[in-house]
Chain A
Amino acid sequence: MKFIDEYRDPEAAKRYSELIHNITTKKWNIMEVCGGQTHAIVKFGIDELLPKGINLIHGPGCPVCVTSLELIDKSIEIASREEVIFCSFGDMLRVPGSKKDLLQVKAEGGDVRMTYSPLDSLKIAKDNPDKEIVFFAVGFETTAPANAMAVYQAKVQGIENFSILVSHVLVPPAMEAILSSKHNLVQGFLAAGHVCAVMGYNEYFPLAEKYKVPIVVTGFEPLDILQGIYMCIKQLEEGRHEVENQYSRVVNKEGNSTAMEIINRVFKIGSRKWRGIGEIQDSGLVLQDEYINYDASLKFGLADMVVEEPKECISGLILQGLKKPFECEAFAKICTPERPLGATMVSSEGACAAYYRYRKK
């Protein structure tokens, strides 16, 4: 298939693997930030092609995984109401809250629908004026433009029975939280290519400078990832700490100005609780005051709801790269994709789920 097979060519993968072996003289810890990259690494067995001393740490870039238990419980509370049609991207439906997940709410009679775009939810709102339509606005900077557009359109068209449960998270603050932790192991980053397609990569220069860490904007196909790893190791070996762009066929430095404009119009930066990590200041998006009527959390009186996370799950340590899934007592024993204890086992992009699916021992 065009634009796919070129980036999965086994011969080219082998050559990159050799190149990486040739330049590597030390052990390095490199974090791939995005869950899509983690998925590709495990699915294609990319880590098998690397020298022993290269340790890939799976970062917090899976939006499903990092959405706080509190927000999941809020979604379940809202979706259970009779007057509500609750719309969500598919993989949020199976994420366990404290007691159940959205698929269970559906089985119990809740109107929970899987949508592919927030604009589809807006159409449902138009078609069902006697219902309240709530869209679960999950994701990083990648899904923010479309979610912002849905809210913007709702206001322009005067649609009042529509709101979003905002769970947006931002990548650079999470990277900074990891780098500033006293347990930090990460020496280089593969930045999330699609986040950068929206936001550009100007935000990363201060991070690379402050923490002396190379950051390579990287794509999602096997050859993208191998090339990103090569560029990152090359910098580490040469003692450089620059921001480089491997994914230049998609990403430019300035980002997508139209997308950023709609994000900034509808959202502003605010604090956000990350599942398994805790609250990180200025790490999320919240609605601007002008759009506050579209905030489902306020609309349904759930702004003060607080939920604590279970103690036995170490997904926080996994998201920070301090532990591997195999090192968890619960992994593949009491914690499986059918009965996940924590976030990283839920989404197919989650590190634990990816290991379970492709590496179960």
Chain B
Amino acid sequence: MGSSFHSEQKTDFTLQCPIPINEYPNILLAHGGGGKLMHNLIEKMFSAAFSNEILQQDHDSAQLTLPSGKIAFTTDSYVVQPLFFPGGDIGSLAINGTVNDLAMSGAKPLYLSLGLIIEEGFAMSELWKVVQSLANAAKIAGVKIATGDTKVVERGKGDGIFINTSGIGIIEHSMAISPKSIREGDVIILNGDLGRHGIAIMAEREGLQFEHKILSDCAPLNGIVKKIIESGIDVHCMRDLTRGGLSSTLNELAGSSPAEITIDESLIPVHEDVRGACEILGFDPMYVANEGKFIVVVNPKDAEKCLSIMKGDEQGKDSVIIGSITGKSEQIVKLKSKIGTMRILDMLSGEQLPRIC
């Protein structure tokens, strides 16, 4: 199974689960209990799917040989419902989310840890789908699962499955990519349209139907970031736009830089269907979550070059310049509205809640 896994596995889930489902159609507490069942699960399912030389070391901890220099290290937990949604699932999300966090410091992601907290009774077939998706996403992003852990919690004490991934990557450039490096005049580039992930999840969760299915934008960004870094562009900051959307990210940057940021609403791409859903629900796409979008803050002299490099990558073909850093004395995000007036783009207080009317 191990060696042929990657070549056969695409995004379909037709491969047979290596643990015969008629044997254990559901996860039992014993699958996390340290005994035979757990070993069976690890060996037959996890090792087979994630097979690599580090896992094969079979130690309590992975031993990694890394080049000298700076290391980037990050962690994130994934608790999404539904577990499977149009355009992705908790598995691809858990890989891409952590890969993207590493990529935002300009690092090359190398190794991920994988912690699974599974609820008793979770279908073995679903777990297999998640594991395949994890393996597939890791392969696409070019990272290895170096170590892992499985726990099973009693029925009713989990939500199917929770995943934690931590990741390390190496930083091969010498730039200081951070909010502190942002300068007045810097240009802000966005790699595509906003709000797909949030609306895809929302539509699935609430049973909302649209003419075309809105797919999550869940994707790894380390490829496009690598191209930007290797081109020698003077990157001052990068940030992925996850929970809280573009607005929250810009406000975080304005706060920690500090900087006055001005963007133009009419330049920001939002897909028709996402806009429609937002209009109906009373949401603002500026605040809706993404899982494959980021902004780059670059030296203005490199803006056009950066834009064209980004446009040449699958994850950036709809890249646009959305605004610039217009000052350094105030911590504020300003938005030029569609009708040409200026207003503040604030951070959201809580969750966005659908409006009554």
The A20-69 residues at the B interface (CB cut-off 8 A) are 36, 42-46, 48-49, 63-64
Q: Is the CB of A139 within 8 A of B356?
A: yes
Contacts of B356 in A (CB 8 A): 63-64, 89-92, 138-139, 143
With A1-B272, A337-B350, A358-B343 known to touch, is A44 a contact of B338 (CB < 8 Å)? Answer: yes
Indicate the size class of the contact surface on chain A. 35 or more
The chain A residue with its CB closest to the CB of B342 is: A45
Contacting A1 at CB < 8 Å: which of B276, B341, B350, B354? B276
Query: Is A357 an interface residue when CB atoms closer than 8 A count as contact?
Result: yes
With A4-B275, A4-B279, A36-B357 known to touch, is A356 a contact of B346 (CB < 8 Å)? Answer: yes
Q: Is the CB of A45 within 8 A of B353?
A: no
A1 CA to B276 CA in the complex, in Å? 8
A143 CA to B279 CA in the complex, in Å? 17
Contacting B206 at CB < 8 Å: which of A44, A93, A116? A116
Contacts of B341 in A (CB 8 A): 44-46, 48-49
Q: Is the CB of A44 within 8 A of B346?
A: no
Nearest-Cβ distance from residue B320 to partner chain A, whole angstroms: 17
The A76-127 residues at the B interface (CB cut-off 8 A) are 89-94, 114, 116
With A1-B276, A360-B344 known to touch, is A44 a contact of B337 (CB < 8 Å)? Answer: yes
The B268-326 residues at the A interface (CB cut-off 8 A) are 272, 275-276, 279, 282
A337 CA to B348 CA in the complex, in Å? 9
Q: Is the CB of A93 within 8 A of B353?
A: yes
A140 CA to B356 CA in the complex, in Å? 10
Contacts of B354 in A (CB 8 A): 89-91, 114, 116
Query: Is A338 an interface residue when CB atoms closer than 8 A count as contact?
Result: yes
A357 CA to B353 CA in the complex, in Å? 15
Contacting A349 at CB < 8 Å: which of B266, B275, B279, B355? B355
Surface stretch bound by B, among A8-16, A261-269, A282-290: A8-16
Indicate the size class of the contact surface on chain B. 20 to 34
Contact with B along A283-312 (1 / 0, CB 8 A): 000000000000000000000000000000
Contact with A along B194-227 (1 / 0, CB 8 A): 0000000000001000000000000000000000
Q: Is the CB of A10 within 8 A of B353?
A: no
Q: Is the CB of B343 within 8 A of A45?
A: yes
A143 CA to B354 CA in the complex, in Å? 14
Nearest-Cβ distance from residue B125 to partner chain A, whole angstroms: 26
Query: Is A194 an interface residue when CB atoms closer than 8 A count as contact?
Result: yes
Contacts of B355 in A (CB 8 A): 36, 89-91, 347-349
A46 CA to B357 CA in the complex, in Å? 20
Contacts of B266 in A (CB 8 A): 10
A89 CA to B266 CA in the complex, in Å? 31
Query: Is A219 an interface residue when CB atoms closer than 8 A count as contact?
Result: no
Q: Is the CB of A143 within 8 A of B357?
A: yes
Nearest-Cβ distance from residue B216 to partner chain A, whole angstroms: 21
Q: Is the CB of B357 within 8 A of A44?
A: no
Query: Is A342 an interface residue when CB atoms closer than 8 A count as contact?
Result: no
Q: Is the CB of B275 within 8 A of A1?
A: yes
Contacts of A43 in B (CB 8 A): 337, 343
A277 CA to B247 CA in the complex, in Å? 35
Contacts of A325 in B (CB 8 A): none
A138 CA to B353 CA in the complex, in Å? 15
Nearest-Cβ distance from residue B284 to partner chain A, whole angstroms: 8
Q: Is the CB of B340 within 8 A of A42?
A: no
Q: Is the CB of A142 within 8 A of B357?
A: yes
Contacts of B340 in A (CB 8 A): 10, 13-14
Contacts of A359 in B (CB 8 A): 343-344
With A10-B340, A63-B356, A92-B356 known to touch, is A360 a contact of B346 (CB < 8 Å)? Answer: yes
The A135-152 residues at the B interface (CB cut-off 8 A) are 138-140, 142-143
Q: Is the CB of A338 within 8 A of B350?
A: yes
Query: Is B174 an interface residue when CB atoms closer than 8 A count as contact?
Result: no
The chain B residue with its CB closest to the CB of A62 is: B356
Query: Is A276 an interface residue when CB atoms closer than 8 A count as contact?
Result: no
Contacts of A347 in B (CB 8 A): 355
Q: Is the CB of A337 within 8 A of B349?
A: yes
Most buried by B among A93, A138, A194, A348: A348
Contact with B along A327-360 (1 / 0, CB 8 A): 0000000001110000000011100000011111
Contacts of A14 in B (CB 8 A): 340
Most buried by A among B272, B279, B341, B354: B341
Query: Is A228 an interface residue when CB atoms closer than 8 A count as contact?
Result: no
With A1-B272, A359-B344, A360-B344 known to touch, is A90 a contact of B353 (CB < 8 Å)? Answer: yes
The chain A residue with its CB closest to the CB of B272 is: A1
Nearest-Cβ distance from residue A138 to partner chain B, whole angstroms: 6
Q: Is the CB of A42 within 8 A of B343?
A: yes
A36 CA to B349 CA in the complex, in Å? 19
Query: Is B339 an interface residue when CB atoms closer than 8 A count as contact?
Result: yes
Nearest-Cβ distance from residue B224 to partner chain A, whole angstroms: 28
Q: Is the CB of B357 within 8 A of A336?
A: no
Which residues of A does B touch, CB under 8 Å?
A: 1, 4, 8-10, 13-14, 36, 42-46, 48-49, 63-64, 89-94, 114, 116, 138-140, 142-143, 194, 222, 336-338, 347-349, 356-360
Name 21 A/B residue pairs within 8 A (Cβ), A-sorted: A1-B276, A13-B339, A13-B340, A14-B340, A36-B355, A48-B341, A49-B341, A89-B355, A90-B353, A90-B354, A91-B353, A91-B354, A116-B354, A138-B356, A143-B357, A348-B282, A348-B355, A357-B344, A358-B343, A359-B343, A359-B344
Please give me the 9 A-B residue pairs with the lowest Cβ-Cβ distance, nearest first: A45-B341, A90-B353, A337-B349, A90-B354, A13-B339, A358-B343, A10-B340, A89-B356, A91-B353
Which residues of B does A touch, CB under 8 Å?
A: 206, 266, 272, 275-276, 279, 282, 337-344, 346, 349-350, 353-357
Can you name 8 extra interface pairs (CB under 8 A) apart from A44-B341, A92-B356? Answer: A14-B340, A36-B355, A43-B343, A89-B356, A114-B353, A116-B354, A143-B356, A358-B344
